Structure 1
Amino acid sequence: MAKSKSLVKSEPTGEKSANAPLVAKKSSTPYQLDPAQVERAAKGLIAHMKKHAQEKEEKAGKKNLAVDEDDSADQDQAIFLNVSTKTHVHDSNRLKPTKLPLPHPIVGSDVRICIFTKDPQRAYKDLVASDEFPADLRTRVARVIGVDKLRKKWKPFENKRQLLALYDVFMVDERVTKIVAETLGKTFYSTKSKRPIPIRLTAGAYIDKSKKDDKKKQENVIGTPKGVAKEIEAALSATYVSMSPSANTSIKVGKLSMTPQQLKENVEAVVEKLVEKHIEHKWRNVRGLYIKGPTTKALPIWLTEEQWADEDKVLDEAPQRVITDGSKKGGEKRKKWEEWEEELLDDEDLEEKRQRRKAKKAKKGPEQSQSRSISKEKRNKLKQEALQSVQTPLIAS
């Protein structure tokens, strides 16, 4: 990359360096993914993960028939997209994940779903049991729990752990997301594996937002069977990102049973929506994109050459170094320390210290004390006069 007379404005960390590295303001970095690079990384990652899983199975020996296949962690491992940004990305709604649609769903068709709803609970149970609700989806919705029942029956920590183990996917009415999060606590929300997915249980119902007086009625609106079913299906065919105030975010984009082509298409779909909607300055703020397994190293699929996200942080010339004499500040600190130390000493020790200080000054002699009192200008003048008085040069030409 060609160098230019421009500099990245560093963050205010005190003294600025005049020897900052030169970088180019304009870079040839393409602000898009290379499909060939993504597919190569996907092939390499899937092949490595399958090889590692096979070696682990052979090392273990005979298969344990007592282990449930659904509980095997190595059966279909998750694949993640790691996003690294140049500046921190802030999102106040961390408890409410954002839905990103996927062309190839990660969740299987045989999952057991539990839905946390707004009260009354019976209304939503009847909605799922309705003939208009798709039969194949009804078999997957195993339980519907209202907020009141959730607070009463699953308040103890052990009960929450049991509830977490009973179902594969949890969903929550977006109107009670905060209440459910406070009730379930870190048992559900400490990790992203089974964090309840917000859905609209008012989908399909008509809401007249122009009538402000009917706000309570609007809060109790129940969606139609077809509308809610469509909302659940959309949630099952998507992945979720919960942006945190940091420079790194991890998003589940696939699983080991997928083909490299399917994984590539999922990665491209997620990156497009994520950069467009959730990252400030969009591509200019992205430092790198990687894909990885739960225990593998991250494979890069896109890296930037630029070090900044905003053109305003690029200077046309180097900042000047400010040189200050720190002797005065150091002297003040030393003086304060000596005063504090003298306050802690007894009268006899204090007098002894003062006598040692006087004796030390007397040993220096009048010549040394005189040289200390000479100013810098006068000392330089005396040095020049001494050099001029020498008949022969000190260094032969």
Structure 2
Amino acid sequence: MPPPIKLFAGNPNKASSSSNTNKSPKPPAALPSNFSQSQAKKAVDALLAHNVKESAKKEEEELLPREEQVWLVVNTKHGNTRKSLKPVKIQLPHPPLPPPPTTSICLLVKSPQREYKDLLANNSIKFMSRVVGVEKLKGKFKPFEARRQLMRDHEVFLCDERIVPLMPKLLGKMFFEAKKQPIPVNLQRKDLKAELGRAISSTYFHPTTGTSSSIRISTPSASTSSETLSNLLAAIPSVVAQIQGEWENVLSIGIKTSTSVMLPIWSSKLSGRFAPSSSNGEKGDVEMVEEPKQKKKKEEEEEVVAPATAATTPAKKTAAKKTLGAEKDTPKKKSSTIGSGSVAKRAKQTATGGSKLKSKSK
């Protein structure tokens, strides 16, 4: 395997403000006073130890086991009302993914794609695994199976920021469900290599309308426990700053891998749910006392129900049957309206008789 490619000559985290293709990110929200870094360290150590055991099992059972990543999970009390296709770039002390060629990278560009392949060659950029144009996405990768294979072949997808609105329709929801949304980059920068390098070495927060967000912070096979912890402590304030309401809207924070359960790091207080009932501040169970008005209502309801049940006795049943029989024996009154049968027949006979008398007189 070739050695990893060095993307930066200096510090990769020292990025200029002009290199950010998205809106200027909000300043990080300070950690609350009840946030415990020791609890975060315990969670990171336990998760990495669990991943070592699981990876050993996968090597025995699977031919090519899938690489796991560590994800920061932020659960909120209320969903976000704004949704954007452009993710928010978050700089970390250490890259969350191994450098190329260990990590396969695909660049999505405008047509013709040959123009952008020549652009990468002129800038001595050799860490791109594939360049795909819009015409290829509409043609060769239009079938579902071809798009799914493209998603499996590459870990990171970079996209020209000018064609970001076309990506949901061309790629489909499978890329977004697999957390492989294309990352927008500006291919018109003078220092194109640094622009693409910063995009690869950063993590991203994708604004959604749901109540849970996952942000990749490290890869266990390429990061140590201290590097994962430093990435975690750097990512939490930046992610919370992008949430509406910030810490007041955060319900819980944890970390997990793709196949593990979430290990909790921080959770909000349940304030106001178990307030003391008495004025002097004493806590305890509240005894439910029935009020006299409620007792009177229950007694009245019982009195109403009692005669109704008594009516079901045999004597009452026979009396009810007799009254029903008497109603059946009484003859029904004939209708005395103009439209009844007898009145209509009489009117017809008088009409025909009158016409015959007129004919005889003639």
Q: How does 1:292-303 map to 2 (within 5 A)?
A: 292-303=256-267
Q: How does 1:373-388 map to 2 (within 5 A)?
A: none
Q: Does 1:189 align with 2:156?
A: no
Q: Does 1:235 align with 2:199?
A: yes
**Counterpart Cα distance in 2 of 1:149 and 1:295:** 33
**Counterpart Cα distance in 1 of 2:265 and 2:205:** 19
**Offset at residue 167 of structure 1 (A):** 3.0
Corresponding residue for 1:127? Answer: 119
Q: Give the 4+ runs in structure 1 shifted more than 4 A.
A: 55-58
**Counterpart Cα distance in 2 of 1:265 and 1:175:** 34
Corresponding residue for 2:252? Answer: 288
Secondary structure at 1:122 match in 2? helix
Q: Which runs of 5+ in 2 are unaligned?
A: 1-30, 273-292, 298-316, 324-362
Flag the 1:197–1:296 CA change in 2: closer, same or farther, 3 A. same
Secondary structure at 2:266 match in 1? strand
Q: Does 1:72 align with 2:93?
A: no
Q: Does 1:266 align with 2:253?
A: no
Corresponding residue for 1:141? Answer: 128
Q: How does 1:1-397 map to 2 (within 5 A)?
A: 30-31=32-33, 33-55=35-57, 57=59, 60=61, 67=63, 71-73=64-66, 76-93=67-84, 95-109=85-99, 110=101, 111-130=103-122, 133=123, 135=124, 138-192=125-179, 194-203=180-189, 224=190, 226=191, 228-257=192-221, 258-276=223-241, 278-307=242-271, 359=320
Corresponding residue for 2:20? Answer: none
Secondary structure at 1:271 match in 2? helix
For the pair shown, which has the larger CA radius of gyration, 1 or 2? 2
**Counterpart Cα distance in 1 of 2:56 and 2:146:** 36
**Offset at residue 261 of structure 1 (A):** 1.0
**Offset at residue 120 of structure 1 (A):** 4.2
Deviations 1:215-261 (A, max 9, x none): xxxxxxxxx2x2x2112111111122223222222222222222221
Question: Root-mean-square deviation (CA), in Å?
Answer: 3.1
Whether the 8 Å CA contact 1:99–1:241 is kept in 2: the answer is yes
Aligned residue type for 1:267: L
Flag the 1:90–1:32 CA change in 2: closer, same or farther, 3 A. farther
**Offset at residue 81 of structure 1 (A):** 1.2
Whether the 8 Å CA contact 2:97–2:219 is kept in 1: the answer is no
**Offset at residue 31 of structure 1 (A):** 4.6
**Offset at residue 100 of structure 1 (A):** 1.6
Whether the 8 Å CA contact 2:98–2:219 is kept in 1: the answer is no
Aligned length: 249
**Offset at residue 185 of structure 1 (A):** 1.4
Flag the 1:166–1:288 CA change in 2: closer, same or farther, 3 A. closer
Deviations 1:243-295 (A, max 9, x none): 3222222222222222221111111111111112x111211211211112223
**Offset at residue 146 of structure 1 (A):** 2.4
Whether the 8 Å CA contact 1:90–1:243 is kept in 2: the answer is no
Aligned residue type for 2:187: L
Q: TM-score, normalised by structure 2?
A: 0.61
Flag the 1:112–1:255 CA change in 2: closer, same or farther, 3 A. closer
Secondary structure at 1:140 match in 2? coil
Q: Which runs of 5+ in 1 are unaligned?
A: 1-28, 204-223, 309-322, 328-355, 363-397
Secondary structure at 2:163 match in 1? helix
Aligned residue type for 1:78: Q
Aligned residue type for 1:270: A
**% identity of equivalent residues:** 35
**Counterpart Cα distance in 1 of 2:320 and 2:238:** 78
**Counterpart Cα distance in 1 of 2:258 and 2:56:** 16
Whether the 8 Å CA contact 2:72–2:216 is kept in 1: the answer is yes
Secondary structure at 1:141 match in 2? coil
Deviations 1:139-183 (A, max 9, x none): 221332222333233222233233334433221111111113211
Aligned residue type for 1:190: E
Flag the 1:180–1:86 CA change in 2: closer, same or farther, 3 A. closer
**Counterpart Cα distance in 2 of 1:152 and 1:57:** 37
Whether the 8 Å CA contact 1:38–1:301 is kept in 2: the answer is yes
Deviations 1:89-138 (A, max 9, x none): 23321x333222221112222133221112343332221011xx2x4xx2
Aligned residue type for 1:103: P
Flag the 1:148–1:55 CA change in 2: closer, same or farther, 3 A. closer
Flag the 1:281–1:189 CA change in 2: closer, same or farther, 3 A. closer
Q: TM-score, normalised by structure 1?
A: 0.56
